[in-house]
Amino acid sequence: MAQIGDLVPKSGIYTEPGVVVQKKEDGTVVVDTEPMTVNKYHRYGNTTGLSEQEKTKFNTVLDEIYAKENDVEKINDIQQEMEQLKTDPKNRNVVQYLKNQQSLLIRKAKSLPRYYTWDENQIKT
């Protein structure tokens, strides 16, 4: 089921991606292809699957973090934010999308977060 802000890739005769901006009672949706509307929900990656509120939280967190230039700092800041958000189960989806974003940065910067939390039973010694 589509949610407001979900990405609609190029399809059919429509060659531009867009986002769902309205859901109608008849089961159809209105898709906006304006780049600024797409950017509103998908500035850092495809956030399809998050609710509109979760998309906003995800983008707000990354807006602050991406204001920095250094990718390693961004990786560490995302890690700290995930640790903080994990304390509330309602943030589970946002944390997963932040983890995905952090993975992209890790591959780009070829660096890992300095500190992270791990289940002690999963550590092999």
Long-range contacts of 117-121 (CB under 8 A, 24+ apart): 117/83, 117/86
Q: Kindly state the average pLDDT of the residues 101-120.
A: 87
pLDDT of residue 15: 81
Determine if residue 66 is left, alpha or beta; phi over 0 gives left, psi from -120 to 50 gives alpha, anything else beta. Answer: alpha
Q: Which percentage of the chain shows pLDDT scores above 90?
A: 76
**pLDDT over 90 at 114, yes or no:** no
- Higher pLDDT residue, 115 or 37? 37
In the chain, where the domains are located = 1-42, 43-112
